[in-house]
Amino acid sequence: MRCLDLTLPTPAENIALDEALLDAAEDQREPVETLRFWESPLPAVIVGRSSKIALEVRQEACQRDGVPVLRRSSGGAAVVIGPGCLMYALVLNLARRPALRAVDAAHRFVLGTLAEALRPLVPEVRCRGISDLVLGERKFSGNSLRLKRHNLLYHGTILYDFRLEWIGRYLAMPPREPDYRNGRPHEQFVTNLPLHASEIRQAIQAAWAAFEPGSPALARPSHA
């Protein structure tokens, strides 16, 4: 697997690159799998493919603070990103991993791999809900996916030194929530993983054996 550690200048460009990597993998004649890391230097709100912005986002606060509201191609609810929130993306080939065509299986496989990678460093890490990673009963990672014909994009957030108050400032309570949340407000539900970003990167990279260097050219179709 290739590893691409690259943050582009804006959140919009970074979201677009995740999607371009998926599209480029679809165009490859041979399977290409990629792990990517990035981290936004400024806060932004990223909503899911079917999210209703009026219900999920505190738009006045975003406008007042100049926080962009962007839409990704994968599902799930809105998230806030920014410094201290490591973003990862996996492009996985479905010919190599046919079981991942089932969404539930994809969540279990990817989140299970991430949890196993982080648990030697923080033993309390576990999976909860459909697509969360938690410490105890508090979430530090939310994840979503997009399936195409030959490949899967699975990506998410890992909070490690994030200003947690931004979440309640820019997001309303979600329209859907996992049972284990029990109606808790954002500030009682989320937490930071007590690791440095470099430790998280190294653990995840090793778990996926993503040691082949990647480049932005990965997002170019093979016939270009």
Provide the residue ranges of all domains of the chain, joining segments of one domain with +: 2-212
- In this prediction, residue 175 carries a pLDDT of 86
- In this prediction, residue 219 carries a pLDDT of 58
Rounded Cα distance, 135 and 193, in Å: 8
Rounded Cα distance, 160 and 142, in Å: 13
Long-range pairs for 161-164: beta carbons < 8 A, 24 or more residues apart: 161/83, 161/84, 161/192, 161/197, 162/82, 162/83, 162/84, 162/85, 162/192, 163/43, 163/82, 163/83, 163/84, 164/190, 164/191, 164/192
Report helix, strand or coil for 153. strand
The rounded average pLDDT for each run of 10 residues, N- to C-terminus, in the chain (224 residues) is 95 95 90 95 95 95 98 94 98 97 97 98 96 96 96 98 98 92 95 98 98 70 38
Rounded Cα distance, 121 and 106, in Å: 24
Return all residues near 163 (Cβ < 8 A) that are at least 6 apart: 43, 82, 83, 84
**Stated pTM of the model:** 0.92
Domain 2-212 has CATH 3.40.309.10: no
- In this prediction, residue 216 carries a pLDDT of 61
Residue 94 tokens, joined = 């479905």
- Alpha-helical regions (H) of 119-172: 165-170
- In this prediction, residue 29 carries a pLDDT of 79
